[in-house]
Amino acid sequence: MIEEGKAKIFTVINKDYKGPGKKSAGFYNPTWHLDRDIQILFCRHIYQQGARKFLDGMAATGIRGIRIKKEISKDISIDINDVSKKSYEIILKNVKENGIEATILNEKFCNLVSRKKYDYIDLDPYGSPSPYIPCIFEGLKKKGFISISATDVATLSGVFKKTCMRRYLANPLKMQGAKEIGLRILLGYIARIAGIFDYSFKPMLSYHYAHYFRVYGSIEKGVKKAEKSLACVGQFYWENGWKIGKSLNAKKIAGPLWTGKLHDKNFIKILESSENKKIKEMAKKFMEEDAISLPYYESGKIAKEIKTRQPSLDKLIEKLRRHGWEAARTHFAGNAFKTNAGYDEIKSYF
């Protein structure tokens, strides 16, 4: 048995495992602890906005749903579901151990959301979420919230280009900014699918950590609202640096993808006030990076390209700002930065 937050759970755990996890019943991956802490902050926020009916759609051990019930409010109605019979039995045991009221289900995710409506749905599949995203919008009320995990980061980031095009109907790029391009492809896919069902989609937090992408967002029914969201779906292309929009000549084009904000400023302020030091550090970068819409650059790759030493990132950002450009660190990588400066301008400061 392990303890996380206010939950105590029986699980299958490998303390040395740092990857995306295995497709096995009751598997617990400690790498996800950080996100589950973030999820509690998110659920507390949406509870204050009136969300009461929650679904942990692919629960494994049930830890997400159990923590939500124990750490947010007893008057939340929580459904905890997993298609695996063994996981279902583990969830039953864990719910009983934690002394909470919950509906435990053993169904296929899409079957479940086709017959029940929720204020908040969490989708945390093994691998790609793309086959399940259309189902989410069948299970949401007219206004609600979602959180989605994707562990197929390599696919979205251009390592497996054809797979990305097949799953997400979008072209990735394996180069500088690849992780952000991948995350934005995921966001763009969610927005496009939402539009099919006449829902708008607004990201509240979108980030990459360890082996996964994670998205938190709000949705609302309405044709005009959906069209407004879809206006944020477009392309980035590389033509001596990152640019936004369509190009007839560029050879490196990414998209369709989300070109708007990655985060909601009000929710990031909540993360900044967290007692968790790691969350506070990430929140600071989230706030800074979202002022610049173009994908990030990598100082190490630029230094290699122009055959010079890699500069201090803080000093590089300071130079860019001093010359009137926007510039900021980003959470995507330690040597990554975002700026609206031209590529030749960037290289001149190395």
Conformation bin of residue 206: beta by default, left when phi > 0, alpha when psi is -120 to 50: beta
**pLDDT value of residue 344:** 98
pLDDT in tens, the chain (350 residues): 899 999 999 987 555 545 555 455 666 888 889 999 999 999 999 999 999 999 999 999 999 999 999 999 999 999 999 999 999 999 999 999 999 999 999 999 999 999 999 999 999 998 999 999 999 999 999 999 999 999 999 999 999 999 999 999 999 999 999 999 999 999 999 999 999 999 999 999 999 999 999 999 999 999 999 999 999 999 999 999 999 998 888 999 999 999 999 999 999 999 999 999 999 999 999 999 999 999 999 999 999 999 999 999 999 999 999 999 999 999 999 999 999 999 999 999 99
Of the candidates 173, 181, 183, the residue with the CA atom closest to the CA atom of residue 203 = 183
User: Which of 1.10.3720.10, 3.40.50.150, 2.60.40.2580, 3.90.550.10 would CATH assign to domain 2-289?
Assistant: 3.40.50.150
Q: What is the pTM of this model?
A: 0.95
**pLDDT value of residue 12:** 72
Residue 188 has a CB neighbour count (10 Å cut-off) of 26
From the number of C-beta atoms within 10 Å of its C-beta (0-12, 13-18, 19+), residue 296 rates as buried
Bridge partners, residue 282, by sequence: none
- Using CA atoms in the order 25, 26, 27, 29, what is the torsion angle rounded to 10 degrees? 150
Query: 78 Cβ partners below 8 Å, 6+ apart?
Result: 54, 55, 56, 65, 68, 69, 100, 102, 103
**pLDDT value of residue 248:** 81
**pLDDT value of residue 25:** 63
Query: 223 Cβ partners below 8 Å, 6+ apart?
Result: 198
CA distance 164 to 152: 9
Backbone angles phi, psi at 81, to 5 degrees: -130, 145
Query: 1 Cβ partners below 8 Å, 6+ apart?
Result: 8, 9, 10, 11, 97
C-alpha radius of gyration, the chain, whole number:
21
Backbone angles phi, psi at 62, to 5 degrees: 90, 5
Backbone angles phi, psi at 4, to 5 degrees: -145, 125
Domain ranges of the chain: 2-289, 297-348
297-298/252-258 β-pairing? unpaired
Whether the Cβ atoms of residue 320 and residue 276 lie closer than 8 Å to each other = no
Residue 263 has a CB neighbour count (10 Å cut-off) of 19
Overall fold of domain 297-348: Phenylalanyl-tRNA Synthetase; Chain B, domain 1 (3.30.56)
Q: At what angle do helices 178-196 and 223-230 cross, to 10 degrees?
A: 160
Query: 211 Cβ partners below 8 Å, 6+ apart?
Result: 18, 19, 20, 31, 151, 153
Of the candidates 5, 218, 265, the residue with the CA atom closest to the CA atom of residue 120 = 218
Of the candidates 122, 116, 153, 137, the residue with the CA atom closest to the CA atom of residue 46 = 122
For 318, the enclosing helix (H) or strand (E) is: helix 313-322
**pLDDT value of residue 1:** 87
Structure token pair of residue 82: 């997993």
For 56, the enclosing helix (H) or strand (E) is: strand 53-56
Is the omega angle on the peptide bond into residue 256 within 30 degrees of 0, that is, cis? yes
Task: Check if 2-289 and 297-348 are the same fold.
Answer: no
